Amino acid sequence: MTTQITRVMDVMKTSFDLVDGMDTVAKALDTMSHVETKCLIVKKRNEDDEYGMVLLSDIARQVLAKDRAPERVNIYEIMTKPALTVPSDMDIRYCARMFARFDLSRAPVVSNGKVVGIVSHTDMVLKGLVNTELEK
């Protein structure tokens, strides 16, 4: 019996928000339309640059908790860069191991050098593991 491999592309969210690192936190939150991803992907400045990422929890810790004005804090000040990315064709079991090793909760999914989605623990468990178990 062969096991059906569930890949990251099968479980990722394809809706996500791309922001500029120079945007203020206030502007980025105003333009955010996919709150369910709980993060913002920071665009590359050029082809040699890397993607960045800001979680809503980063904004809570670094802006809200420190009583900083969101209109005066730029995204680049609080982002994680480079963001650890996941290939879209990766097996979700390896993705889960990578999340555990690097203490990640979500990561941008990349195909051909471009972000195509976001994957989280929730996506892997609810869409990957649960659906796989239901098929048995």
Whole domain around residue 41: which residue ranges? 8-135
Task: Give me the pLDDT at residue 104, please.
Answer: 95
In a domain, 3, yes or no: no
Find the angle CA(13)-CA(87)-CA(36) to the nearest 5 degrees. 20
Sign of CA dihedral 97, 93, 126, 78: positive
The answer to whether residue 135 scores a pLDDT higher than 60 is: no
Mean pLDDT, residues 84-108: 96
Predicted TM-score of the model (pTM): 0.87
In a domain, 68, yes or no: yes
In a domain, 36, yes or no: yes
Eight-state DSSP code of residue 120: E
Q: How confident is the model at residue 26 (pLDDT cuts 50, 70, 90)?
A: very high
In a domain, 117, yes or no: yes
In a domain, 96, yes or no: yes
Number of domains in the chain: 1
CATH label of the domain that carries residue 36:
3.10.580.10
Mean pLDDT, residues 28-44: 91
**Which residues is 69 bridged to in the sheet?**
none
In a domain, 82, yes or no: yes
